[in-house]
Amino acid sequence: MTSDTWHQRESYSFDRNTIAEIRRAANTGIYRIRGWGAKRVLPTLDDLVFLGASMSRYPLEGYREACGTDVIIGEGRAERPVHLDIPVTIAGMSFGSLSAQAKEALGRGASSVGTSTTTGDGGMTEEERGHSTKLVYQYLPSRYGMNPDDLRRADAIEVVVGQGAKPGGGGMLLGQKITERVAEMRTLPEGIDQRSACRHPDWTGPDDLAIKIVELREIVDWRVPVYVKLGAARPYYDTALAVKAGADAVVVDGMQGGTAATQDVFIEHVGIPTLAAIPEAVRALRELGVHRDVKLIAAGGIRSGADVAKALALGADVVSIGTAALIAIGDNDPAYDDEYRALGSAAGFWEDYQDGTDPAGITTQDPELSSRLDPVIGGRRLANYLQVLTLEAQTLARACGKSHVLNLEPEDLAALTVEAAAMAGVPLAGTGWTPGTSG
């Protein structure tokens, strides 16, 4: 008898991946912890298309006419607003989850195209400060490595309330990555499985947050902007409350947003997709009359210039990338396929950022593995990638007749699915029907 799978039917409910997970759980007695972001099928920005120019719309010359990409955050409140040359930033990722070389590569790449990088749960390193001309300092519940001197060295402060991969959850860094340096920065014993706090220790709601933001501004003498980062859960209400608390920018991170380590059940089942989150955040900003004043930074699964342009057209001012930036500097490189396979994965599938065994030297603290990543080359790759994202976004904006990428608007979009039309608040392609608004 053959085992020809053409004669066998795989269960939709209990497919091989599900069976493997049940077997893994039965063997270990612990939930699956992994990196990356949501992997299941979700409504995405791919479900939108640009309409482009036509009889009633003038396009701009693709190779000649100017199409601006700059954004200023914190103007009018901070003494030193953040000037970004492109509307794409690098999301918060900690030293500890990433190697020092990876942090340096991110800093080099972002700086060379005039944008910012962000620290993470674990404090600021010299590598990232030294190589980032614009560095956003995250202020997290754990306060690992929190230092007022670093706060003053930052170009902006980002109060992290939540993260798209795990709204309502704290960080996680397993023992194999808690080296002597990481442990010292976080004041933790070396080698423990570190589970960060999920709530801030000294404030408990939006009224407290408003006072906290004043304190942070006072400590830095009102020099730099303050962002508030939210995992996309209730973006309409959370954005409004962040504005009320005094944020200069609100970061909304959809459920496709990545992480270095958390429970798989969190990644796949908590939060809402980026496509659904952006319009809700924009609705809150518009109702409060602060859209384009308080900046919206959209994150979670941004991969291409098309994603950038669509997020901006929906009303975001900036997008933030994490997973895509890691891929740009070498994550999941096919050149390491043999090594990924030796670890039970393969290039293109590698998600075990928590293990510290990354052959590409990015999500690891192992000195030998880390040394494989050349931060100069990694920085160049990231700079090239960011340039492509920007060029693609400009291409689409010009095609829609816009002289600045921030002039893109929902009117430039149509949806390919009813779900995307409802979430984005744009018509289903080929119809005048926007579910929920036009009957």
Partner 1 sequence: MSTAIDLVEVPLRQLNQVLHDAESGGFDVLNPRGAHAVACGITTDVTVEVAGSVGYYCAGMHQVGTVVVNGNSGPGLAENIMSGTVRTTGNASMSAAATGCGGLVVIEGDAGARCGISMKGVDIVVGGSIGHMGAFMAQAGNLVVLGDAGADLGDSIYEAVLYARGEVESLGTDCVEKEMRPEHLAAVEHLLEAADMAASPSDFRRYGSARQMYSFHVDDIDAELAEGPGGTR
By the rule CB under 8 A, 403 interacts with partner 1: no
215 binds partner 1 (CB under 8 A): yes
Contact (Cβ atoms closer than 8 angstroms) between residue 109 and residue 328 = yes
- Our finding on whether 343 is near partner 1 (CB under 8 A) is no
| Burial class, 162, CB count within 10 angstroms (exposed 0-12 / middle 13-18 / buried 19+) | buried
| CB distance 24 to 32 below 8 Å | yes
Residue 148 engages partner 1 in binding (rule: CB under 8 A): yes
**Could you tell me which stretch among 3-11, 145-153, 247-255, 427-435 binds partner 1 (CB under 8 A)?**
145-153
Q: Which of 413, 399, 430, 410 is nearest to 53 (CA)?
A: 399
Residue 52 in the binding site for partner 1 (CB under 8 A) = no
3-state helix, strand, coil in the chain (%, to 5): 40, 15, 45
435, 421 contact by CB (below 8 A): yes
How many residues interact with partner 1 (rule CB under 8 A)?
A: 33
Mode of pairing for the β-strands spanning 413-415 and 48-50: antiparallel
x/- binding map, residues 253-292, to partner 1, per CB under 8 A? Answer: ----------------------------------------
Rounded Cα distance between 278 and 79, Å, is: 28
Among 5, 8, 28, 54, binds partner 1 (CB under 8 A): 28
Site for partner 1 contains 150 (CB under 8 A): no
Exposure string of 368-400, with b = 16+ CB inside 10 Å and e = fewer, is ebbebbbbeebbbbbbebbbebbebbbbbbbbb
Using rule CB under 8 A, residue 218 touches partner 1? yes
Please report how close the Cβ of residue 199 comes to partner 1 at its closest, in angstroms: 10
Cβ 315 vs Cβ 280: under 8 Å: no
Q: Note whether 51 binds partner 1 by CB under 8 A.
A: no
Residue 101 neighbours by CB distance under 10 Å: 22
Member of 36, 95, 137, 203 binding partner 1 (CB under 8 A): 203
Please report how close the Cβ of residue 131 comes to partner 1 at its closest, in angstroms.
Answer: 26
Examine residue 344 and tell whether it contacts partner 1 (CB under 8 A). Answer: no
80 binds partner 1 (CB under 8 A): no
183 binds partner 1 (CB under 8 A): no
Q: Say if strands 226-231 and 249-253 run parallel, antiparallel, or are unpaired.
A: parallel
189 binds partner 1 (CB under 8 A): yes
Strands (E), 140-290: 156-160, 172-173, 194-195, 226-231, 249-253, 259-263
Q: Is residue 146 near partner 1 by the rule CB under 8 A?
A: yes
- The one among 212, 229, 295, 310 contacting partner 1 by CB under 8 A: 212
* Residue of the chain from 13, 17, 27, 56 that contacts partner 1 (CB under 8 A): 27
Q: Which residues bind partner 1 (CB under 8 A)?
A: 26-30, 142-143, 146-149, 151, 174-175, 187-189, 192-193, 197, 201-203, 208, 211-212, 214-215, 218-222
